[in-house]
Amino acid sequence: MIVLVLTALFGAAFSAELDPSLTEWRLVTQNEERIRFPLRDYILEVKAFLPDEYDTNPPYSELFRTDKSTTMMITLHASTGGWKKNVGRLVWNTIKYDRGYDIAIEECDAKYQSYRSFPAGGKKEQIWAWNFFEDHVELTCDGELQYEQNFDEGDVHARKPGLPQSCRALGDADVDKITLKHMAGEYIRGRPKTVKETTLPQIETTAPPTTEPSTTESPELPDDSKFAEPYPTCDCWTPECNYCANMECTVQHDLIGDDDLGIQVTSKLGWRIMNSIVLYDEDGNTLGMFQWNLKKILLTGCVNCQSPPAIRSIKPGTVDLWVFSLDMIDGVLTLKLSIGGNVVYERDLVGQCADRYKNVDRFAFFDMTCESTFKYAKEQMVAGARVTPDCAGSCPSS
């Protein structure tokens, strides 16, 4: 095989950062290619194509290998080792096989696992996304979860004595290099998981005073007559939105003085997927992000904590209305998160944190789907041109 090292992209001395050009689709031209890819910071996306002819029940060799026209493989290399030292191998296919030989992580699975459905419903073009977290990894195809593996729950099998320790080791590895195999003709790109901290003002992260969440009901929400129909949470991390830098993908809103309106979102709640709102000042500068799930709550530069029991007790998969608000009371800026009309988390922002977020003038949604919605109040908000009922054509219109 020909091994192509992409020195033209990264230069002779590799960096831990992904080359900006790889945030756009890049054609894989060889049967084996090596690239630098910080897997903890970027989601690895692969645009693959279903073969015109394939067999969902082919004859298998003694090693149970499938037809290479449907197979893709990525070998993972850690920062502490060279290209010859592997810490993981991902093998998956563009079709669903009759006998379940669809996908495996060699360091975690004793045998191939079956997909949940035929990838992309049998469409010619497929968008696969490998997303590595601290405790698990997910593989989706066109947004549908097809496979997930917890690094603490690797298989145990006599023929693979390294399991399950090798699975946990993969989760702990700082992967910064990958080798692509059997993928010529496909496309790859890296999608950053979060807005980079380096682009934001640097603020000391000393935790501000915490107040206990209120158990009383929050004020009544404004009358529904003030709202247009629910709008989808248009994702701003797209080329069209210049990766959250295009103000046409934001909503102008006086969040501090909105009379408890806040930002009202209806979404599915879970342990892994983050609900994320990007916050801007009146000049369009990014102030930071508010992010939360059932496990943790984050506000860039100011809050990084575990979700309180009132949130952790919610059943994963629950769809509910939640409200993010910033209230100025007696000169103190307070962050509040309400679910189902009850305040479940609040924190006073002081010092530089208060100085930073008191200037919020706009918001946008980061890495959220069209299935989630927010309430757009025409009397109090001004939506950018790309914030529409179909997100400028990127979401199906209702």
User: Which amino acid, 22?
Assistant: L
* Tally of structural domains, the chain: 2
- Sheet strand arrangement including 71-78: 3-5, 32-36, 175-181, 71-78, 88-93, 103-105
Confidence of residue 209 (pLDDT cuts 50, 70, 90): very low
Examine the domain organization and report whether 61 and 172 are in the same domain: yes
Residue 339 belongs to domain spanning: 202-383
Examine the domain organization and report whether 209 and 133 are in the same domain: no
Examine the domain organization and report whether 47 and 150 are in the same domain: yes
Q: Which of 136, 168, 192 is where one domain is finished?
A: 192
Q: Which of 163, 192, 221 is where one domain is finished?
A: 192
Examine the domain organization and report whether 166 and 302 are in the same domain: no
Tell me which DSSP letter residue 65 carries: P
Q: Tell which wins on pLDDT, 128 or 85.
A: 128
Residue 36's nearest CA partner among 193, 186, 175 is 175
User: Which amino acid, 326?
Assistant: L
Examine the domain organization and report whether 157 and 14 are in the same domain: yes
Examine the domain organization and report whether 238 and 331 are in the same domain: yes
CA angle 94, 391, 194 (to 5 degrees): 65
Q: Enter the tokens of residue 33.
A: 């290619």
Residue 228 has pLDDT above 70, yes or no: no
Q: Select, from the ranges 5-9, 73-77, 110-114, 155-159, the one with the highest average predicted confidence (pLDDT).
A: 73-77
pLDDT in the model for residue 369: 87
Confidence of residue 206 (pLDDT cuts 50, 70, 90): very low
End-to-end CA separation in angstroms for the chain: 50
Examine the domain organization and report whether 257 and 336 are in the same domain: yes
Rounded-to-integer distance, Cα 90 and Cα 92, Å: 7
Examine the domain organization and report whether 257 and 309 are in the same domain: yes
Report pLDDT digits (tens) over 186-205: 999 998 875 443 334 444 44
* Strands (E) located in 246-318: 251-253, 263-268, 275-280, 286-292, 296-299, 303-306
Does residue 392 lie in a domain region? no
Report pLDDT digits (tens) over 48-78: 999 988 888 877 654 455 556 889 999 999 9
